[in-house]
Amino acid sequence: MCGIVGVISQQPVNQLLYDALLLLQHRGQDAAGIVTGSGSKLYMHKARGMVRDVFRTRNMRALPGDYGIGQVRYPTAGNAESEEEAQPFYVNAPFGLVLAHNGNLINAVALKRELFTNDHRHINTESDTEVLINVLAHEIERRTHGLPLSVDDIFAAVRAVHLRLRGSYAVVALIAGHGLLAFRDPFGIRPLCFGTAGESGEVMVASESVALEGTGYKFERDIAPGEAIFVDLQGRLHSEQCAAEPQRNPCIFEYVYLARPDSALDGVSVYRARLRMGETLAQRVISVLPPSEIDVVIPIPESSRPSAMQLAHRLGRPYREGFVKNRYVGRTFIMPGQAVRKKSVRQKLNAIGQEFAGRNVLLVDDSIVRGTTSREIVQMAREAGARKVYLASAAPPVRYPNIYGIDMPTASELVAHNRSVEEIRQIIGADVLIYQDLDAMKRVIREINPEIVEFEASCFDGCYIAGTLPPDEGKNRGEGVAPNTGRLSLQGAEEQGQLS
Ligand SMILES: O=P(O)(O)OC[C@H]1O[C@H](OP(=O)(O)OP(=O)(O)O)[C@H](O)[C@@H]1O
Ligand SMILES: NC(=O)CC[C@H](N)C(=O)O
Ligand SMILES: [Mg+2]
């Protein structure tokens, strides 16, 4: 996941984009970038770091204009350390195009090769997003060739883009002097919605509804899977379904962890989904442990709170805040590198001794992925004097890699991969370990919006609806993964392109 935003206004948009990115900061902490447009001139600033660090006053002053896009990055392809891979990306032809992307392409290596051999386009970084912008640019260029750009050309280009890309992509792009384009992959894996403000048709597109609400925009609707919308500089909104067979399969992990609870994605309030997950988890707990064995239910802040609260309510046991979160430490799961993640758990969370001393505690987390948090937390609960430490996860075991925009690309790093619940329990060191049931979780979220027929839930069920990595890349995954990061790498694609 990453956070993306785009806006067309009649006023300067630099502060608006900054504010929206701050509201999306939980989706990406590694890099941030904004591009604004004034007439047909584009202005860009992007760098590694959190929003507050990347944009100083002088940078903000250098972003004039009344339309723009922004991104906060959580790298899932290429190199987290590369400043160049911060988004948005820019290509000068046709017209001047900038683009920001949330998601992950699984055929980026093949596309890079194709772009080089057939389209004579050079990709200079390891980022799949640079591939994406070049595919879009090529498809727009093919349709215009020196002629003025029409809305039909734009939608025809998006249709062609859908045919070439595999994987997940929610996209915002500016076409200099023309307007704002946004589209979502045919499965709608990553979220994207838009809202309006004022009488003059100001439009904002964002990954999550919280970015609209927090900046004074009225949520209009989600962008449908496969749909594209184009807003011209006068604020006229055009939309078209550009995929042949769209189907709504939102990523279920957004509801578990990625999104903010005060957002609604694809018609589902994330907060409500988390409360319901707490209810189904309570049923699992009751089937394993009599509630009388539990003295207190304690959430592992931040994301597990709604589920833990509802679970405690269902069990009729007290809910207590046993861990205090240092608000100046970011989300640990989306930090790059295991060493920094491990260190950050202790920096981030501290136990309140009296909530643990002599008690049987049920700790609740939203998910257990690498097990970094759980291992540390269980140990901290014991150090604080807990008699028994039970652990419940509001998500099912994460057993398979995610290749659609969550940075868990290798199975071996997942604590639940190829392990029984008992084996995981021993590794984590809990007295009892209880997981959510996948079907129950899907059912309760689907009850909130029955239009969602299926979810993208590959990290739980190993089913990859938008395709898997090609066998050679799968085989080379160890090598095809950038050193120390575990992320997919595009290295070598160009050489192969040159040879063919
Ligand atoms: O098993 P792990 O690999 O440790 O990953 C899972 C943990 O990481 C996340 O917390 P994070 O600190 O990122 O964010 P939060 O404050 O939103 O809970 C998630 O909420 C779990 O607590
Ligand atoms: N998490 C994401 O959405 C990542 C976007 C893109 N694949 C990148 O690595 O920059
Ligand atoms: Mg957490």
pLDDT tens column, 206-228:
999 999 999 999 999 999 999 99
The rounded Å distance from CA 46 to ligand 3 centre is 28
What ranges make up the beta strands (E) of 39-93? 41-48, 67-73, 89-91
Instruction: Quick: pLDDT tens for 344-385.
Output: 788 889 999 999 999 999 999 999 999 999 999 999 999 999
Give yes or no for residue 3 CB within 6 A of ligand 2.
Answer: no
How many residues are recorded in the chain? 500
- Measured between alpha carbons, how far is 169 from 161 in angstroms, rounded to an integer? 11
Percent of the chain with pLDDT over 90: 84
Instruction: For residue 240, give the H/E element and its range.
Output: strand 237-241
**Does the pLDDT at position 182 exceed 50?**
yes
pLDDT digits (tens, 9 = 90+) for 316-331: 999 999 999 998 887 8
Specify the pLDDT at position 468: 87
State what percent of residues in the chain have pLDDT above 70: 94
Residue 397 pLDDT more than 60?
yes
Contact yes or no for 351/392 (Cβ under 8 A): no
Cβ within 8 Å of residue 496, ≥6 positions away: 113
Specify the ligand 2 atom closest to the Cα of 407: 1
Choose which residue among 4, 48, 76 to substitute to test ligand 2 binding: the one with the highest number of ligand atoms within 8 A of its C-beta: 76
Q: What 3-state DSSP class applies to 4?
A: strand
What confidence category does residue 498 fall into, taking pLDDT thresholds of 50, 70 and 90?
Answer: very low
Helices H, strands E: what count in the chain? 18, 21
- Give one word for 465, left, alpha or beta, with left for phi > 0 and alpha for psi -120 to 50: alpha
User: Is the predicted pLDDT of residue 494 greater than 60, yes or no?
Assistant: no
Cα 348 to Cα 340: distance, rounded to the nearest angstrom: 12
CB 391, CB 378: distance < 8 Å = yes
Residue 317 Cβ inside 6 Å of ligand 2? The answer reads no
Alpha helices in 145-204 (DSSP H): 151-164
Pair of tokens at residue 476? 């080379």
Q: Which atom of ligand 1 is nearest to the CA of 300?
A: 22
The answer, yes or no, to whether residue 157 has pLDDT greater than 80, is: yes
Q: Give ipTM to 2 decimals.
A: 0.97
Q: How far apart are CA 29 and CA 127, in angstroms?
A: 17
pLDDT band of 472, cuts 50, 70, 90? low
Cβ contact 54:47 at 8 Å:
yes
Nearest-atom number in ligand 2 for the CA of 87 is 10
Q: What's the CA-to-centroid distance between 1 and ligand 2, angstroms? A: 6
In single-letter form, the type of residue at position 148 comes to P
Cis before 94? omega within 30: yes
Identify the helix (H) or strand (E) that includes residue 102: strand 97-105
pLDDT at 471 over 80: no
pLDDT of residue 490: 55
DSSP 3-state helix, strand, coil percentages of the chain (rounded to 5)?
Answer: 35, 25, 40
**Beta-strand pair 193-197/218-222:** antiparallel
Range 272-448 has CATH code 3.30.450.20: no
- For 340-354, the pLDDT digits (tens) are 777 778 888 999 999
Residue 303 marked in a binding site = yes
Residue 397: closest CA among 367, 426, 425:
367
Centre of ligand 3 from the C-alpha of residue 69, in Å: 29
Q: Is the CB of 489 under 6 A from ligand 2?
A: no
How many alpha carbons fall within 13 Å on the CB side of residue 26? 16
Reply yes or no on whether the pLDDT at 496 is more than 70.
no
Convert the pLDDT of each residue in 407-463 to its tens digit: 887 899 999 999 999 999 999 999 999 999 999 999 999 999 999 989 999 999 999
- Give the residue, out of 25, 127, 404, 488, with the most ligand 2 atoms within 8 A of its beta carbon, to mutate for a pocket test: 127
Q: Which of 4, 163, 124 is nearest to 70 (CA)?
A: 4
pLDDT of residue 486: 39
Region 104-123 average pLDDT: 95
Catalytically annotated residues: 2
Peptide bond into 88 cis (omega under 30): yes
Residue 499 has pLDDT above 70, yes or no: no
Tokens of 198: 């004022």
Q: Where are the alpha helices (DSSP H) in 47-144?
A: 51-54, 57-61, 108-117, 128-144
88 versus 477: the higher-pLDDT residue is 88
d(CA 380, CA 92): 53
How many other CB atoms sit within 10 Å of the CB of residue 217?
23
Q: What mean pLDDT do residues 85-100 have?
A: 97
Residue-wise pLDDT for 42-84, tens only, equals: 999 999 999 999 999 999 999 999 999 999 999 988 887 888 9
User: Which of the pair, 291 or 1, is modelled with greater confidence?
Assistant: 291
Ramachandran bin of 339, using left for φ above 0, alpha for ψ from -120 to 50, beta for the remaining angles: alpha
Contact assessment for residue 294 and residue 282, using Cβ atoms and an 8 Å cutoff: no
pLDDT of residue 500: 25
| Residue 144 C-beta-side C-alpha neighbours within 13 Å | 20
Q: Give 485 or 24, the one with higher predicted confidence.
A: 24
Q: CA-CA distance, 443 to 87, in Å (whole number)? A: 36
Model confidence band, residue 162 (pLDDT cutoffs 50, 70, 90):
very high
Pairing of strands 360-365, 388-393: parallel
Closest residue by Cα to atom 7, ligand 2, is 104
- CATH architecture of the region 3-249: 4-Layer Sandwich (3.60)
**Looking at ligand 2, which residue's alpha carbon is closest to its atom 10?**
75
Position in ligand 1 atom list of the atom nearest CA 348: 12
Give residues (CB < 6 A) around ligand 1: 257, 300-303, 331-334, 365-374
- What is the distance, to the nearest Å, from the Cα of residue 318 to the centroid of all Cα atoms in its chain? 33
275 CA distance to ligand 1 middle (Å): 18
For residues 267-293, average pLDDT: 98
What string of DSSP letters covers 6-20?
EEE-SS--HHHHHHH
Q: Which two tokens stand for residue 168?
A: 């997940």
* Residues ≥6 apart with Cβ < 8 Å to 457: 251, 252, 253, 438, 442, 463
For ligand 2, atom 1, which residue shows the shortest CA distance? Answer: 1
In this model, does residue 477 exceed pLDDT 60?
no
Instruction: Count Cα neighbours of 109 within 13 Å in the Cβ-side half-sphere.
Output: 22
Task: Measure the CA–CA gap between 251 and 173, rounded to whole angstroms.
Answer: 22
Name the residue among 403, 29, 442, 398 with its Cα closest to residue 255. 442
What span, in angstroms and rounded, lies between the C-alpha atoms of 32 and 269?
A: 26
Q: Which residue has the higher pLDDT, 127 or 80?
A: 127
Neighbours of 316 (CB within 10 A): 10
**Residue 160 pLDDT > 60:** yes
How much distance in Å is there from the Cα of 161 to the middle of ligand 3? 36
**What is residue 367's three-state secondary structure?**
coil
Q: Rounded to an integer, what distance in angstroms lies between the CA atom of residue 355 and that of residue 295?
A: 10
Domain assignments of the chain as residue spans, ordered by start: 3-249, 272-448
Q: How far does the chain reach from its first CA to its final CA, in angstroms? A: 34
- Ligand 1 atom 21 nearest Cα: 367
365 is in an annotated binding site: yes
pLDDT (tens digit, 9 = 90+) per residue, 189-206?
A: 999 999 999 887 799 999
pLDDT at 481 over 70: no
Please say if the pLDDT value at position 36 is more than 80: yes
For ligand 2, is residue 2 a contact (CB within 6 Å)?
A: yes
At 337 the pLDDT is 74
Q: How high is the pLDDT of residue 469? A: 77
Tens of pLDDT, residues 215-266: 999 999 999 999 999 999 999 999 999 999 999 999 999 999 999 999 999 9
